[in-house]
Amino acid sequence: MGLKLYGFVPSNATFRALVSLYEKDLDVEFVKVHMAAREHKTPQFLSRNPFGQVPVLEDGDITVFESRAITQYVARAYADKGNELMINNDPKKMAIQSVWMQVESQKFDIPSHKLAIELYYNVLHRGREVDEALVAEYKPKLESVLDVYEQRLKESKYLGGDSFTLVDLHHLPNVYYLMATEVKKLFDARPHVSAWAADILSRPAWVKIVSMLRSEGYV
């Protein structure tokens, strides 16, 4: 059967899922969903994901949507392949990993995604005018999260623990996009956050995503 990922470039959720497959050295067929043609709202696509959104992973008779559910499925189902992406043996370490996984989803995701869409996609890529009100709303929110990250990364090499895990991986697409914008200054001003960002962005699995972006004319 093989693995099939339905996605869209440069959707950050698509890349969040895809980079987890690359970290696991898995062969995956990437199926581009034609958003402009509203292919994601067809009955066939809605049978894969009733919300009509990408990404969706098909693995034999298992269908998974929501990017963070896909990464967790991949990390568990292919635990013995490629790089380990989850701590699964120590209850205390697992609790810490859960905490920071929730922090990404509940605290980092919204401000970083809003700023990435606006400053990377709308402004840099599509050449639109900056929505200054949006930037003024979300930059301070992102800064307060990065302040907590700076403290956290003084104690721990990665956000979820001593090794790279899904916690860090979930940040990748938004961190990558933001580093091409004025928001990079917020990272530069925090040495531990900045070193962490450089580290996770240099991983071979992410570099493979950047090649894909380049071939699609995004970089």
At CA 78, angle to CA 156 and CA 168, rounded to 5? 25
Q: Which of 34, 76, 128, 208 binds a second copy (CB under 8 A)?
A: 76
Q: For residue 60, give the DSSP letter.
A: T
By three-state DSSP, how is residue 18 classified?
helix
72/181 with CB nearer a second copy: 72
Shortest Å distance, C-beta 96 to a second copy: 8
Long-range contacts of 119-122 (CB under 8 A, 24+ apart): 119/177, 119/178, 119/181, 119/182, 119/183, 120/177, 120/178, 120/180, 120/181, 121/10, 121/177
Please give the residues from 117 up to 176 whose contact with a second copy meets the rule CB under 8 A. Answer: 148, 151-152
Shortest Å distance, C-beta 147 to a second copy: 8
Binding flags for a second copy, 29-58, as an x/- string (CB under 8 A): ---------------------xx-------
Q: How far is CA 110 from the centre of its chain?
A: 12
CA nearest neighbour of 177 among 14, 6, 4:
14
Shortest Å distance, C-beta 137 to a second copy: 15
Tell me if 46 sits within 8 A of 38, measured CB to CB: no
Tell me if 209 sits within 8 A of 18, measured CB to CB: yes
Shortest Å distance, C-beta 117 to a second copy: 16
Q: CA–CA separation, 180 vs 213, rounded Å? A: 13
Partnered with residue 32 across adjacent β-strands are 7
64/119 with CB nearer a second copy: 64
Shortest Å distance, C-beta 3 to a second copy: 13
61 binds a second copy (CB under 8 A): yes
2 binds a second copy (CB under 8 A): no
64 binds a second copy (CB under 8 A): yes
Shortest Å distance, C-beta 107 to a second copy: 7
Binding residues vs a second copy (CB under 8 A):
50-51, 61-62, 64-69, 72-73, 76-77, 91-92, 94-95, 98-99, 101-103, 105-107, 148, 151-152
